[in-house]
Amino acid sequence: MKARPLLDPHPAREAGVSLIELLVGLTIGALVSVAAVGSFAPTRSASATLGDSTRLHQDAAMAFRTLGHHIRQAGAVRLVDNGNGLVTFTDKFAGYGTVTLPQAVNGVDGGNNNPDVLQISHDSEVSLSAADCLGQNVNSDVAINNRFEVVDQNLRCLGSGSGIPGPLISGVEDFQVRYGRRINDNLQYEDASPAWTANEWNSVEAIMVCMRMAGLVGGHTGQAVAGCNGEAIANDGRIRRVFVRVFSLRNIAL
């Protein structure tokens, strides 16, 4: 027969925490909770600031990509096969002028720090699926005309593929355009003038575009910024960025 295990005459007592230990634990937990709640607001604000700033940069990059594509194409005309190995440029491109004196670039100065208007024209060809600034295909071999302007803080474009303008990006407070013309062998940037002739418009070699954009979320800490014309813009709690790009016209020799 198996021997019965001997019972411990002195069993171990169950250990617990004292009232002081419990109070210390509760105090530490409360301090951790207060610290977590206190850091929530700054973290949320920083996250919103980063998100707003990132959106502005992404929207500006997209807008400049569209603008740059059409500005660089300004004045481009298609080739025509005349047979017998003779290829010439079409003589039917009119742009914003006439067939005898076409203008690839045109614009309106807003004046008094108001947004400008930019118009860009280049030839198209249906077989190449040419599209306007909104990605709309044209249905005939005609010039693609794109009109860029700001309406209600939306940079929008009116293209040749439709008679209805469409928005490109939002949050655009200002849109300034300056035209680089060679004067006395120097490339000088000027605002558009209603007195410019077709020849003066056709002397434009480069276009400088400036956009002042504002975030959608308020309550950010910041400071006053300078606009596209150097004007002071008061801080109203929204993030603002000023973006500038210069584009060369590749077809000015044509």
> How many domains are there within the chain?
1
pLDDT range class, residue 67, cuts 50, 70, 90: very high
Joined tokens for residue 216: 């959608």
Structural domain contains residue 125: yes
- Structural domain including 232 reads 44-248
Could you read off the pLDDT of 5-53 as tens digits, one per residue?
555 565 555 556 677 776 777 777 777 766 656 554 555 555 556 777 8
First to last CA, the chain: 115
Structural domain contains residue 37: no
Q: Bridge-partner residues for 158, per DSSP? A: 147
Q: pTM here? A: 0.76
Could you read off the pLDDT of 51-63 as tens digits, one per residue?
778 889 999 999 9
Structural domain contains residue 13: no
Structural domain contains residue 186: yes
Q: Which residues contact 235 (CB under 8 A, 6 or more apart)?
A: 222, 223, 224, 225
CB 95 within 8 A of CB 76: no
